[in-house]
Amino acid sequence: QVQLVESGGGLVQPGGSLRLSCAASGNIFSIYTMSWYRQAPGKQRELVATITAGGRTNYADSVKGRFTISRENAKNTVFLQMSSLKPEDTANYYCNAHLHAMDHWGKGTLVTVSA
């Protein structure tokens, strides 16, 4: 069982930046596909960004050019660097680890973009 703990959320002004972190337990982190999802109030959870074990990345159109996902396998951590934040980026952000049709989730970290 993989335990995921997100951190780094908070209140930021429009146009600002935040970096989210997700720390994972276990010793096979490097082979997981890691993703960030988000869920805004009253909306469905949506995929934000994914990074494979090999380092390939994919982004939702709404965040391309503004968000960057990365991973540091030696520290069992995946990051989401968010820039040029907009009010519509406000949501709970969740870390996901996927391997062999199994999904593991963190409890989320809240990002609020507001003046």
pLDDT class of 27 with cuts at 50, 70, 90: confident
Task: Indicate the pLDDT class of residue 86, thresholds 50, 70 and 90.
Answer: very high
Q: What is the CA radius of gyration of the chain?
A: 13
Say how far apart CA 94 and CA 43 lie, in whole Å.
14
Q: What pLDDT is attached to residue 59?
A: 98
Scanning the structure block, which residue is given the tokens 């994972």? 24
List 51's β-bridge partners, or say none.
34, 57
For the chain, counts of helices (H) and of strands (E): 0, 11
pLDDT value at 42 more than 90: yes
Mean pLDDT confidence for 3-29 = 96
